[in-house]
Chain A
Amino acid sequence: MTGLPPRGACVGRRFLLIAAAGTLLPAIAAASPVQVAVLIRRLIGDATVSEGRVKLDLPVLVENGNTVAMTVSVDAPIGAVHSLHIFAEANPLPEVLHATFGPRAGVPRIQTRIRLATSQTVVAIARMRDGTFWQDSVELLVTLAACID
């Protein structure tokens, strides 16, 4: 709690001004599960999303949120997957990636490295060519390095 006057001190005009200014400062922006839900709704339209078929691989305990190894795969034959979409519920911006598989794509699987601002749930959505949607999510803990630069 910075900005508070010492106990017993008179709350002066200056402090009130600073406090008022503080409320106007934007908080550190973070997405929310609701925001992700809205993005997913925009993606799927009137369709529903089922659990399963897509598998999101992320470590449950993250050593450093700057670089987190992630593998997403779909249990489907080659050519059956249209696209993959990843969202992070508590990152400053919820979208992580949108990937589309063309006619020459092989197995529906991608591997990359992502940033996670804090402990949160990451959601993967697979859109199939038959119009169905599938999802998986991982709730993970992001620890912070003790010695930072």
Chain B
Amino acid sequence: MVRVLLNVPKQVRKGEPFDVKLLISHPMESGQRRDAMGLAIPRDIVRRLVCTFDTEEVFGMDLFPAIAANPFLVFSAQIERSGTLSIMFTDDHGVVQTETAAVEAV
């Protein structure tokens, strides 16, 4: 289980953009490194991240080994009604994880 810190305002103004801030505990092992015995350390990165609001896509990102360990991401969203913002991501082990936050639009 990967730890995720998702920071979203609980309440936003309708149609006004707000920041979605995300930290994911993940080594983002690049696949370029070798261990003490000289063996390649297999790649293990978060490769895809999608943010949706209810069913609509807000933001999507393909990640590569050049994204730093414990990925940090800020992007912007805007909504017209209250609903649920969810972040879904997939890593090289096929682990899919979803984090959600309720956002109220006023």
Contacts and interface: CB of A to CB of B under 8 A. Distances in A.
A–B touch (CB < 8 A): the answer is yes
Interface of A: 29, 66-68, 78, 88, 91-93, 95-116
The secondary structure that dominates the B interface is strand
Contacts, number: 101
Contacts of B71: 112-113
18 contacts: A29-B32, A66-B69, A78-B17, A97-B67, A98-B61, A100-B61, A104-B77, A104-B78, A105-B77, A105-B78, A106-B18, A106-B75, A106-B76, A110-B61, A110-B74, A112-B72, A112-B73, A115-B68
Interface of B: 17-19, 30, 32, 52-53, 56-69, 71-79
Contacts of A113: 67-68, 71-72
Nearest to A71: B74
A104 B58 contact: yes
Contact of B68 (A67, A95, A99, A101): A67
Contacts of B58: 102, 104-105
A93 B31 CA distance: 11
